[in-house]
Amino acid sequence: MATLTYRDALNEALKEEMARDPDVFLMGEEVAEYDGAYKVSRGLLKAFGPKRVVDTPIAELGFSGLGVGAAMVGLRPVIEMMTWNFALLAIDQIVNAAAKLRYMSGGQVTCPIVFRGPGGAALQLAAQHSQAFESWYAHIPGLVVMTPGTPADAKGLLKSAIRSDDPVVFIEGEMLYNVRGEVPDEEYVIPIGVADIKREGSDATIVCHGKAVTVALKAAEQLAEEDIAIEVVDLRTITPLDRNTILTSVSKTNRCVVLEEGWSFAGVGAQVVDVIQREAFDLLDAPIIRVTGADVPMPYNKYLERAAKIDPAKAVAAVKQVLYLT
């Protein structure tokens, strides 16, 4: 098992899948000659050539449409968005074409395509470049939505995404690209729709995904110093949602905090809360609390930006609230 950065884990997944299947190709802005805006595609042009690692113009709608067409005729495109904020320009192809082709063709046409790139906030990129869109895409039938929070999950989920016959929205964490972790070698594939217990505990559950996993684990470490044992459930895949893992954890701890980077209204956490209150209401010893980003466009000012984001302190406060310690 190697120790890799999140970025190198993604690179390894791409390299392995492109070597395994000649129908897989990568397309996007600066993915070839420049090795990718975040260096995720480093070395792929040299290894696979310009027909399989394709630089595009700054035209998200156009190259996403090319990818959908290629997927319809049997190829497996991986479309890199320099940021998911820019994918707004391609949303017609993602939502109206890729997501609906199998259904509208009665199963005659599949669309095995992966749209991937960083989402959410980084540092002082301001309102137009700091948005978390998981709940938007999870709202659309026909799309699989993945949000890896660790290097191992980045590799295992991306390999599964590329092999899927359904279109996948794969949202990475820009602030995670340099994070290091152990990553299994060679054939490591994580099944779609399976959450992961990142830390076991008995006092309360934190359900999270993506960059929020790091926040949850830091909060759990702080709470452990006060003899509070937190179970951290990493959704990994937003749709399909692993209801069983969520419910099993909550049935053990009887208390839950849902932590996410995005806005609160109609967020991923709202769906998680709905699952718990419908299927495990009688097991709860306290109301579920959601911790989200502030419902404002992300400020540019670094102090206001920090106030708008989730952090371990906010997660710790929520856990103490469901434990009636505050």
DSSP helix, strand, coil percent of the chain (3-state; round to 5)? 40, 20, 40
Residue 218 pLDDT = 98
Quickly tell me which residue has 């997944």 as its tokens: 13
Domain residue ranges of the chain, discontinuous segments joined by +: 2-183, 196-322
Distance between terminal CA atoms of the chain?
43
Task: Categorise residue 236: left if φ over 0, alpha if ψ from -120 to 50, beta otherwise.
Answer: left
Pairwise CA distance, residues 231 & 236, whole Å: 15
The CATH architecture to which 196-322 belongs is 3-Layer(aba) Sandwich (3.40)
Angle, CA 215 vertex, CA 300 and CA 315 arms, to 5° = 95
Q: What is the pTM of this model?
A: 0.95
The alpha helices in 110-179, defined as continuous H runs, are: 134-138, 151-163
Chain segment 73-99, per-residue pLDDT in tens = 999 999 999 999 999 999 999 999 999
Mean pLDDT of 148-162: 98
Pairwise CA distance, residues 291 & 206, whole Å: 10
CATH class of 2-183: alpha beta
Beta strand ranges found along the chain (DSSP E): 2-5, 24-28, 53-55, 76-80, 114-119, 144-146, 168-173, 180-183, 196-199, 204-208, 230-234, 237-239, 256-259, 289-291
Residue 185 pLDDT = 84
Q: pLDDT-based confidence at 1, cuts 50/70/90?
A: confident
Strands 144-146 vs 237-239: parallel, antiparallel or unpaired:
antiparallel
Does 186 score more than 80 pLDDT?
A: no
Mean pLDDT of 143-167: 98
Residue 202 pLDDT = 97
Residue 34 pLDDT = 96
Mean pLDDT of 166-190: 94
Contact 263, 292 (CB under 8 A): yes
**Are 2-183 and 196-322 equal in CATH topology?**
yes
3-class DSSP state of 119: strand
- Of the chain, the percentage scoring pLDDT greater than 90 comes to 98
Tell me the catalytic residues: 60, 129
